[in-house]
Amino acid sequence: MRKIENTKWDRRFMEVAELVSTWSSCYKEDRHVGAVIVINKRIVATGYNGASSGIESCVDRGSCLRQELNIASGTCHEICYATHAEQNAIIQAARLGIAIDGGTLYCTHQPCTICAKMIINAGIKRLVFKKGYPDEFALKLLNEAHIDIVNYKE
């Protein structure tokens, strides 16, 4: 993982990812996550963490299933009503028939292992994230797949 001086484009796209994160329907505000996929300095897809279409969100339910079950952050990702921001951005591109191979994914948080696998298989070549996440294996996979990882610092 590289720590480099951010470009004006990194700053712009991270600002968009931060804005997209405000659309999250996650019950825990510190877990509002936004993602933006960029090809040739053009935004081609966005995603935020939230319940799948037709599923009631935790905000609407008034509680967080993970909190109720005392599930630690970074574990048991499948026990949640929400789909991760990175997953939603990749799914949005697929639904719209947009190729993201070779693109950059900007995300407010480091991806989990499941998202890392999707990022690798989607052909994303560069990942820029801002906040950490307790999942070292995700970083190991991304490094092994030769994804250019940038830990964004303001």
Q: Calculate the dihedral angle through the C-alpha atoms of 83, 87, 88, 92, rounding to the nearest 10 degrees.
A: -150
Among residues 5, 78, 86, 136, which one is catalytic? 86
| Tokens representing residue 27 in the block | 């019950």
Listed residue (146, 109, 120, 141) closest to 33, CA to CA = 109
Catalytic residue check, 86:
yes
Closest CA to 152 of 2, 16, 29: 2
Query: Of 80, 50, 85, whose CA–CA distance to 66 is shortest?
Result: 80
127's enclosing H/E stretch is strand 126-131
Active site residues: 86
